Amino acid sequence: MSAKGLGNTTVSQIAIVVRDIDEARQRWAQILGQPIPDIIVTQPGNEVHMTYRGQPSNAQAKLAFFNLGQVQMELIEPIGGPSTWKEALDKRGESVHHIAFWTEDMQASAEFLKEHGIPLVQRGDMGEGQYAYFDAEQQLGVQIELLERVRKARVE
């Protein structure tokens, strides 16, 4: 895995944390010339085995997605308990939160990042798959999200 890095260099998503998703999705839709996307509310963290900094979290988020060719843009408004979304919004205000990549092997990708001093900060189930955020802010200036379509084991 180390020779191949993450195992995938295709950016699938760029996400921005926002204070008011309704206002942000309207503003972005106008600028992008796209329809205003629906808002999706994530399941409570305890229903998707969410952890934040190693501890269970019941946080949720409101999400809106713009499909822009190869890359999806995600708007995230944190709601509820502690999360990487709320932490980023509190620390930097509205800003880029993460760049996402799909992985076929979450465990190997997570181990590769850990070897490079990029720790897991938050994870949760996503249907049959899972998502995980890694704190690469010191090294890369942004978090990395890995997405796995079929969860082999929950990454820790």
Annotated domain spans of the chain? 2-148
Q: How confident is the model at residue 7 (pLDDT cuts 50, 70, 90)?
A: confident
What is the pLDDT of the chain when averaged over all its residues? 94
Residue 91's contacts (CB-CB under 8 Å, 6 or more residues apart) are none
Say which residue, 81 or 65, is predicted with more confidence.
65
Distance CA 115, CA 98 (A): 20
Q: 2-148 architecture in CATH?
A: Roll (3.10)
pLDDT tens per residue, range 95-115: 999 999 999 999 999 999 999
Contact 13, 99 (CB under 8 A): yes
% pLDDT > 90, the chain: 90
Q: What is the pTM for the complete model shown?
A: 0.93
SS3 (DSSP) at 116: coil
Contact 33, 93 (CB under 8 A): no
Q: How confident is the model at residue 3 (pLDDT cuts 50, 70, 90)?
A: very low
What pLDDT is recorded for position 4? 66
Q: Is the pLDDT of residue 45 over 80?
A: yes
Distance CA 49, CA 67 (A): 27
